[in-house]
Amino acid sequence: MSINEMPKMASSSVPKWHSSSVTTKIVNNLNPICQATQQLTLKGKFVIIHNQSKSIPGKFISVQIYSGTDVDPETGKGKLSEKAHFKQGESMKHSHDAQTTIYKIKIHVDSNFGSPRAFVIQNKYKKKFFLQSASIETSSNRIIHYDINSWIYPIKKTKSDRLFFSNRCYLPSQTPRALVELRKEELDILRGNGMGERKEWDRIYDYDFYNDLGDPEKGPEHLRPVLGGTKLFPYPRRGRTGRKQSTAGPSSESRPQPMNFGIYVPSDERFAPNKLKELKSNCVHAMVHFLSPKAELLSHRNSANFQSFEELLEMFSSNRSQIIEGWMKDNLKKLIPIAYLKEITIANKENHGQLPIPQIIFENELAWKDDIEFGRQMLAGTHPTRIQCLTTFPPQNKYGIQSSIKKSIIEQKLEGWTLSQAMEQGRIFMLDHHDYLIPYLNRINANGVCAYASRTLLFLRTDGMLKPLAIELSLPGPAPHLELHRVFLPAKQGTQAALWQLAKAHVLANDAVYHQLISHWLCTHAVVEPFIIATKRRLSVMHPIHRLLNPHFKGTMHINALARLIVINSGGILERILFPGEICMQISCDLYKEWRFIDQGLPADLLKRGMAVQDPDMNNPTGIQLLLLDYPYATDGLEIWVAIKEWVKDFCSFFYKDNEDIEGDVELQAWWSEIRTQGHGDKHNDTWWNQMTTLSNLVETLTILVWIASAKHASLNYGQYAYSGYPPNRPTLCRKFVPLEGTVEFGEFLKDPDKFFLKMLPDRFEMSLAVALVNVLSSHTCDEVYLGCQQSPGWIDNEVIQNRFAEFKQELKEIQARIMQRNRDPKLKNRRGPANIEYTLLYPDAASSSASKRGITGRGIPNSISI
């Protein structure tokens, strides 16, 4: 019998029972948890931030169980058991400084109590604790699992008990009568009333504009437009915090202290104890390593440049000072709580390890200069999603202004092909960073940086590698819609080769900006957050689609909130290191105007960029054929995409027998409506949105979401240190234009081209800050859960679904084996290139051992966007 033919799950198939043994895993964030009456066993995977020996007195924690089958006629809800308190706890091994404790408790119920399908827990202790999981064993020895991973706050703060449902899924119309009212009440709580300032312990999900990026209280230069809610500045919504408005700028929300990591996100979206501690530690260690030797330069944006490539390589030396003293300590005190700073200070004194050498220079310090490596990174680097096939020559902008690249110049480099022949065969490609930048360049270049818009043309050689043909750098002309163009051609030596290297640096700066602001931040982090909010507000935790999506949303709202605090805010990291500076997020807004959800799936994206064509072969599950057979991101990604889609299709087919089930799912319809009208409300009138009326539309929507949150984000994020960790390979800004012959700057350039190149790059501080950022972003943390894995083996109470998920996991293992085989194929030259960097970013699993999954691995697809 196929999964599509399986019967619906019965709502009351569990035998009657007299008593239950309840197993719960709790991790106390300040103390190990104490406890227990009899049958509640604590098995924790998450750990506390501060390891202390004292447990929480069990009398402060109580549990009551709801029947999922028998209704209390007085309340209309499932029967509720007596209250039981934890009395003692069994401590487990310490892991990552956290103590895990197992508690057992026995609860006696009437013989007609029925199947336990929910419980409430109350914390009367003064501190929160982290509840990882629970399981209830019935009198017939059946174990009912509860996948929790939530902070439990004191009742003095929350004013209510915390409700959890078991891991069994029900469509709204199939909810057992005993759980109907509980299901409704829980969703009402999560939606809140849209009023008041949110507190740390709240679990309320609501939408807001990006009105917290500016900080007008620091001065008018920190004013930033509100993103979202207007035609001029459309944007996805973020989670509402309800903080007070700034007194200096009434449209701006007040901001918390940077780097105290205390910004509000709903408590269930907060990082687990170890994740938060490890992220803080990674941030500070990176800053100390890369910034402390020149700490006195931190307050001066225009500090000295690196004087040589040898000096630049010293950034990665183990001889750099790693002691937090003097100026650095005084400044970190302003950013980090004193207690935490003491821990980091001790850790730094104990750890003088050398940071890994970025892969781009690991084997060959000059590989980054190679033209073939320049082209290869557009297919297999950290940003392989921008290149497109050129279909019209010469390229032109929306006003009809044509590129100044001449056909005669191009045809000299096509290895015997004419331009028309090469284009007909899909062999001419373009990296386009022109139209979206031109309107902003005058404003950008008035702030001490030197930026062009760019077009780069490339030719597909017979060996499958891309050969650069020409680079066009453009500036706005003296009148509207006029432009000034300069064209640069590849050269192997002499002055022309040095000028070509400068032109490539400007292209790479363009690409770094688009990568960080658009491909990475906007098209993964920002666009997913409204889906998370809608899921928590409209789909019960018992809803199968909630169960499917939840692993792919873990940690995203928290990391996005931290990004608003220190990365994308006024004066934040991106404004400091990227050449658009204060208008970074406005560019992001402009490109959101072009964003369409239906284009975010991999096949649709490849078709849109002309990197693939439709395949009429009905047996091809991708529906497309790649123009480049050696395109590692696309080849590996399509295999991952198909596996995800097949898994999602089988999952949905089990719960929805026909399209009428989808149309009649009130929670699903409310979810989809809210995403379009509120979460992405600035696009609610766009006609490209699918109607949520068919199984195929549901499967495509969910596949796109899982793809974005897992594989797409992994491909764009975890290779950053390998390629951007060495700034000359991917500079984030340029401080000089390419000099014109006959000028003083051209004479300076001729005197020492390498020194001119280094002066053109970001200064010491900007480079160091950029490397510190990608060091943190590229690091996997200890609690990473990878695609095809779940935090709990009992994540869903359905054997058929669990077996199908095991098949999905096995398919991903087989895909990884095929990727590894392709990486060993010498004919697939883009798999390594001149820098000899294997394409491993879409290996589903990070490594064979958990120890090697932490840190900078350059491989592994985490389930969610959590960094």
Q: Which residues are catalytic?
A: 520, 525, 713, 717, 867
Tokens of 521: 């931040």
Give CA–CA dist 748/769, Å, rounded: 28
Give CA–CA dist 427/602, Å, rounded: 21
Q: Which residues contact 325 (CB under 8 A, 6 or more apart)?
A: none
CA-based nearest residue to 134, from 173, 107, 95: 107
In eight-state DSSP terms, residue 302 is T
Give CA–CA dist 838/136, Å, rounded: 47
H-run or E-run covering 312: helix 309-313
SS3 for 30-44 is CCCCCCCCECCCCCC
Tokens of 457: 């043309």
Tokens of 531: 């889906």
> 467 in helix, strand or coil?
strand
C-alpha pair distances (Å), 673 with each of 221, 286, 543: 38, 43, 17
Give CA–CA dist 347/330, Å, rounded: 18
Residue position matching structure tokens 């035609």: 231
Q: Is 345 exposed, middle or buried (0-12, 13-18, 19+ CB in 10 A)?
A: middle
Whether the CB-CB separation of 357 and 856 falls below 8 Å is answered with: no
In the chain the first and final C-alpha atoms are separated, in Å, by: 41
Whether the CB-CB separation of 864 and 560 falls below 8 Å is answered with: no
Count CB atoms within 10 A of the CB of residue 169: 24
H-run or E-run covering 475: strand 466-476
SS3 for 130-147 is EEEEEEEECCCCCEEEEE
Whether the CB-CB separation of 746 and 496 falls below 8 Å is answered with: no
Tokens of 827: 């004919």
Give me the amino acid identity at 309: F
Give CA–CA dist 206/228, Å, rounded: 15
Q: Which residues contact 339 (CB under 8 A, 6 or more apart)?
A: none
Helices and strands counted in the chain (H then E): 27, 21
Q: Which residues contact 79 (CB under 8 A, 6 or more apart)?
A: 66, 67, 70, 71, 72, 109, 110, 113, 114, 178
CA-based nearest residue to 271, from 26, 554, 568, 42: 554
Total residues belonging to the chain: 867
Burial state string for 633-656 with b = 16 or more CB within 10 A and e = fewer than 16:
bbbbbbbbbbbbbbbbbbbbbbbb
H-run or E-run covering 67: strand 61-71
Tokens of 138: 């019935």
Give CA–CA dist 63/82, Å, rounded: 8
Q: Is 755 exposed, middle or buried (0-12, 13-18, 19+ CB in 10 A)?
A: middle
Q: What are phi and psi of 600, to 5 degrees?
A: -85, -15
